[in-house]
């Protein structure tokens, strides 16, 4: 009996404990369900929903004329919620086949049957989000919105997620200067330098996690709309840039060179109008790309173009005359058993300072500098430093190369440093620094900083303007500048740049040929510091300004490692300079009328031109071209030249056709004039390309109405 009681008591105890435990569970369920319910629902919601950042549309980058250099194009991930409340069975069944066919016809990545299967399975399983296509263009998205079911708008189940892709309409042109923005990586070009301006402010969108680890938007609209970035207007002229890159590419290919650069700068403002940097692609000797910005980022020994700085230093300090005599002998001399040689044997053993510069004599230059500065070489270094060659320019673009002008206190200063420095060795400067010095001479001694950006605009309103920055109001005396200009003009008239003396306008400049040892230069007794002849690379360059009498632009061209046997700056880099200068001259209105003493045809007359009568007449008058017109003052005219000097103007029916409500023939009309005419007559105009009108989307003679859209393809 005692055992039985003991067993029953234990059983009762277990029963009571189980009852208490059950009551506790029931209590906890009630608390969770009724008291803490909202809290736990919120936590559950947090595990399946998340706020995503929506990238803002990055601002555009434009050239000096408003042409797009870089822009962000929208692309979309397109999905469908076939179980949306607005899609009932009747609507779905009536339109599923036509929707599947339209999707197939637009994307062509799946068959109609496959698309139909996707739609049916999603409907049957209750799936609220199925991805149809990624990277859909804006144009295709607009087409999608017209498809069956989708055309119902928000109730049609179409779900889109926008992403932006950066595009450069002109591809390779100025690619390295335009650059790119890479989060967490060293910035490149204007994209990197002005990233905070271009990027805008991100928006936010609430997304829900569904089956398959897929996130779909909860609402049709973003919770916080992104704010687009500001636009950047650069100084680059894409038309000149095009000429610069093609001229440089042609020179690189013809000379089998490794890389090169060309930069065009406006004298007064420092605006960079073109900057081309091309380097040979590995494994293809004729293929080049813009992979590195040599003009900005690479400081090298400049060679003979440095002679301008050396001779300006001695002229400014000691006021020597350009007719002062220098004994160059046979074009060879020695400094501490290191030979210095001229490329060509001098025309005379005695040369003037002017002739030394014109013939680019290494011996003559080194003798002038050692004569005046050997007792106080620091004075020479100080003069070079006063030209701001010893420190970076402080450009708006990142990655500027660090220059180096050797100082007398440096450990590697030696007895040969002064003569070698005088003609461009044992110093490092970037091509853009060389150009800036020459630009200061063209600008009568006023040194301005190279500038790449004109202004920043937001929604068409200017928020910041970039004005010309002056580095030094007067780097040397006016008399020194006059002598420097005389020396540079002599190079083209009588010296190493004579190939450029056949142009329709005068230019001034200096050629350069730097020797670079392939295995590294080491001074050896009785030998050049830059290797034996077979163990050298060369750097050919030409830098100058034009027109010589009234400088408007400076330009530098550098070709590295030409390997077809010709490596002199005037022969290798000079033609690129010439092509760029002639393009600028032919398209610029700032130049004076050309003097053509040889009475030869300077350029071919275009086959057709269409423009306003008064504009074409004014052009003909300014160039003394005979013109006859039967058109009214403001009418638009076309011209067909029957020879190189005579232009006949005939009345056009463009304006009269528009007044009658009929589309005229716009071919040959400039983009500016076409826009003016069409928009004044109620058209919505879209342009593709540059130049004059090549074709039009609405045929000639067709009736039109205000608000019609017309697309013009430009040549």
Q: How far are the Cα atoms of 80, 84, 173, 488 from residue 209, in angstroms, in the given order?
A: 15, 17, 43, 71
Q: How many Å apart are CA 430 and CA 293, to the nearest integer?
A: 11
User: Where along the chain do its domains lie?
Assistant: 14-49, 55-234, 240-457+466-587, 609-714
CA end-to-end span of the chain: 115
- The 10s digit of each residue's pLDDT in 193-247 is 898 888 887 777 777 766 555 566 666 566 667 788 899 999 999 989 999 999 9
- Range picked from 125-129, 537-541, 652-656 for highest mean pLDDT: 537-541
Q: How many Å apart are CA 21 and CA 38, to the nearest integer?
A: 25
Is 444 in contact with 419 (CB distance < 8 Å)? Answer: no
For residue 534, is pLDDT > 60?
Answer: no
- The 10s digit of each residue's pLDDT in 506-523 is 999 999 988 875 544 444
Assigned CATH for 240-457+466-587: 3.40.710.10
Closest CA to 263 of 630, 9, 549, 553: 553
For residue 466, is pLDDT > 70?
Answer: yes
Q: How many Å apart are CA 247 and CA 240, to the nearest integer?
A: 10
For residue 374, is pLDDT > 90?
Answer: yes
The pLDDT score that the predictor gives to residue 384 is: 96
Is 186 in contact with 98 (CB distance < 8 Å)? Answer: no
Q: How many Å apart are CA 278 and CA 241, to the nearest integer?
A: 12
Band (pLDDT 50/70/90 cuts) for residue 525 is very low
The pLDDT score that the predictor gives to residue 124 is: 85
The pLDDT score that the predictor gives to residue 576 is: 94
For residue 567, is pLDDT > 50?
Answer: yes
What percent of the chain lies above the pLDDT cut of 90?
40
The pLDDT score that the predictor gives to residue 613 is: 61
Residue 148 CB: number of other CB atoms within 10 A? 18
The pLDDT score that the predictor gives to residue 349 is: 94
For residue 66, is pLDDT > 50?
Answer: yes
For residue 138, is pLDDT > 70?
Answer: yes
Fold of 55-234: Penicillin-binding protein 2a (Domain 2) (3.90.1310)
Q: Count how many Cα atoms sit within 13 Å of the Cα of residue 175 in the half-sphere of its side chain.
A: 17
Q: What angle (nearest 5°) sits at the alpha carbon of residue 614, between those of residues 611 and 619?
A: 80
User: Going by C-beta distance under 8 Å and a sequence separation of 6 or more, which residues neighbour residue 643?
Assistant: none
The pLDDT score that the predictor gives to residue 595 is: 46
Assign 3-class secondary structure to 407-443: CCCCCCCCCCHHHHHHCCCCEEECHHHHHHHHHHHHC
Q: How many Å apart are CA 305 and CA 543, to the nearest integer?
A: 7
Mean pLDDT of the region 353-360: 95
Higher pLDDT, 28 or 390: 390
Q: Which class is domain 609-714?
A: alpha beta
Band (pLDDT 50/70/90 cuts) for residue 80 is confident
pTM: 0.71
Mean pLDDT of the region 253-257: 91
Band (pLDDT 50/70/90 cuts) for residue 377 is very high
The pLDDT score that the predictor gives to residue 520 is: 41
Mean pLDDT of the region 290-312: 93
- The 10s digit of each residue's pLDDT in 672-703 is 778 878 877 888 887 777 778 888 888 887 88
The pLDDT score that the predictor gives to residue 201 is: 77
- The 10s digit of each residue's pLDDT in 149-200 is 888 876 788 888 777 788 888 888 888 899 887 666 777 889 988 988 888 8
Helix (H, G, I), strand (E, B) or coil at 215: strand
Closest CA to 455 of 128, 235, 685, 165: 235
Sign of CA dihedral 578, 582, 583, 589: positive
- Range picked from 111-120, 224-233, 262-271, 576-585 for highest mean pLDDT: 262-271
Overall residue count recorded for the chain in this entry: 715
**What value does the mean pLDDT of the chain take?**
83
For residue 473, is pLDDT > 80?
Answer: yes
The pLDDT score that the predictor gives to residue 627 is: 57
Q: 449-481 as b/e, with b when 16 or more CB fall inside 10 Å?
A: ebbbbbbbbbeeeeeeebeeeebeeebbeeebb
The pLDDT score that the predictor gives to residue 610 is: 53
Higher pLDDT, 269 or 644: 269
- The 10s digit of each residue's pLDDT in 599-656 is 444 444 454 555 556 666 676 666 655 555 554 444 544 444 444 444 444 345 677 7
Closest CA to 551 of 455, 636, 442: 442
Sign of CA dihedral 530, 533, 537, 542: positive
Is 177 in contact with 189 (CB distance < 8 Å)? Answer: yes
Q: What is the DSSP string of 621-689?
A: HHTT-EEEE-S-TT-EEEE--SSSSEEEEEE--HHHHHHTTB----TTBBHHHHHHHHHHTT-EEEEES
Phi, psi of 177 (to 5 degrees): -75, -40
Residue 623 CB: number of other CB atoms within 10 A? 10
Mean pLDDT of the region 271-291: 89
Helix (H, G, I), strand (E, B) or coil at 292: coil
Residue 347 DSSP code: S
Phi, psi of 357 (to 5 degrees): -70, -45
The pLDDT score that the predictor gives to residue 609 is: 54
């Amino acid at each position: 009996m005692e055992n039985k009681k003991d067993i029953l008591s234990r059983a009762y105890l277990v029963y009571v404990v189980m009852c208490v435990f059950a009551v506790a569970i029931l209590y906890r369920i009630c608390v969770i369900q009724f008291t803490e319910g909202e809290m736990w629902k919120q936590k559950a919601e947090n595990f399946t929903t998340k706020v995503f950042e929506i990238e803002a549309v990055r601002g555009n980058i434009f050239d000096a004329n408003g042409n797009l250099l870089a822009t962000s194009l929208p692309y979309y991930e397109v999905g469908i919620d076939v179980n949306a409340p607005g899609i009932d069975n009747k609507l779905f069944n009536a339109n599923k086949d036509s929707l599947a066919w339209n999707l197939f016809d637009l994307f062509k990545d799946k068959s109609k049957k496959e698309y139909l299967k996707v739609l049916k399975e999603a409907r049957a399983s209750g799936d609220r989000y199925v991805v149809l296509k990624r990277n859909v263009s804006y144009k295709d998205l607009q087409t999608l919105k017209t498809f069956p079911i989708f055309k119902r708008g928000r109730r049609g189940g179409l779900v889109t997620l926008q992403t932006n892709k950066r595009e450069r309409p002109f591809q390779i042109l100025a690619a390295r200067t335009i650059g790119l923005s890479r989060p967490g990586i060293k910035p490149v070009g204007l994209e990197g330098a002005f990233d905070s301006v271009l990027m805008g402010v991100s928006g936010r969108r609430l997304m829900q996690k569904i089956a398959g680890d897929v996130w779909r938007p909860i609402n049709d609209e973003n919770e916080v709309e992104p704010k687009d970035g500001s636009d950047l207007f650069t100084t680059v002229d894409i038309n000149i840039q095009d000429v610069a890159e093609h001229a440089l590419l042609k020179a690189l290919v013809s000379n089998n060179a490794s890389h090169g650069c060309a930069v065009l700068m406006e004298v007064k403002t420092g605006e960079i109008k073109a900057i081309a940097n091309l380097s040979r692609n590995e494994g293809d000797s004729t293929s080049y790309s813009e992979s590195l910005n040599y003009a900005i980022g690479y400081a090298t020994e400049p060679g003979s173009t440095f002679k301008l700085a050396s001779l300006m230093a001695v002229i400014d300090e000691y006021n020597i005359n350009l007719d002062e005599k220098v004994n160059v002998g046979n074009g060879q001399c020695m400094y501490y058993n290191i030979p210095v040689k001229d490329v060509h044997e001098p025309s005379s053993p005695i040369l003037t300072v002017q002739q030394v510069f014109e013939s680019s004599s290494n011996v003559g230059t080194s003798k002038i500098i050692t004569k005046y500065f050997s007792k106080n070489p620091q004075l020479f270094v100080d003069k070079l430093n006063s030209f701001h060659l010893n420190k970076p320019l402080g450009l708006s673009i990142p990655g500027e190369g660090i220059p180096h002008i050797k100082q007398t206190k440096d450990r590697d200063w030696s007895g040969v440093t002064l003569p070698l420095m005088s003609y461009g060795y044992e110093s490092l400067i970037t091509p853009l620094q060389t150009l800036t010095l020459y630009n200061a001479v063209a600008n009568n001694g006023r040194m301005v900083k190279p500038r790449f950006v004109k202004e920043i605009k937001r929604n068409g309103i200017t928020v910041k303007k970039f004005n010309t920055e002056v580095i030094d109001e007067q780097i040397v005396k006016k008399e020194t500048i006059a002598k420097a200009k005389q020396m540079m003009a002599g190079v083209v008239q009588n010296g190493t740049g004579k190939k450029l003396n056949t142009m329709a306008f005068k230019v001034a400049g200096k050629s350069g040929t730097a020797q670079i040892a392939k295995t590294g230069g080491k001074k050896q007794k009785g030998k050049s510091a830059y290797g034996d002849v077979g163990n050298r690379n060369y750097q050919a360059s030409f830098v100058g300004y034009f027109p010589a009498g009234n400088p408007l632009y400076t330009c530098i061209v550098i070709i590295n490692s030409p390997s077809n046997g010709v490596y002199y700056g005037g022969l290798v880099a000079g033609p690129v300079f010439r092509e760029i200068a002639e393009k600028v001259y032919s398209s610029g209105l700032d130049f004076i009328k050309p003097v053509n003493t040889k009475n030869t045809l300077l350029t071919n007359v275009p086959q057709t031109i269409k423009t306003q009568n008064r504009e074409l007449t004014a052009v003909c008058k300014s160039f003394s071209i005979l013109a006859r017109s039967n058109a009214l003052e403001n009418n638009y005219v076309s011209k067909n030249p029957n020879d190189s000097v005579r232009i006949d103007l005939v009345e056009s029916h463009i304006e009269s056709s528009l007044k009658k409500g009929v589309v005229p023939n716009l071919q040959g009309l400039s983009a500016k004039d076409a826009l003016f005419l069409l928009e004044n007559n109620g058209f919505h105009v879209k342009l593709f390309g540059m130049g004059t009108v090549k074709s039009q989307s609405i045929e000639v003679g067709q009736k039109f109405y205000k608000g019609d859209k017309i697309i013009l393809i430009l040549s």
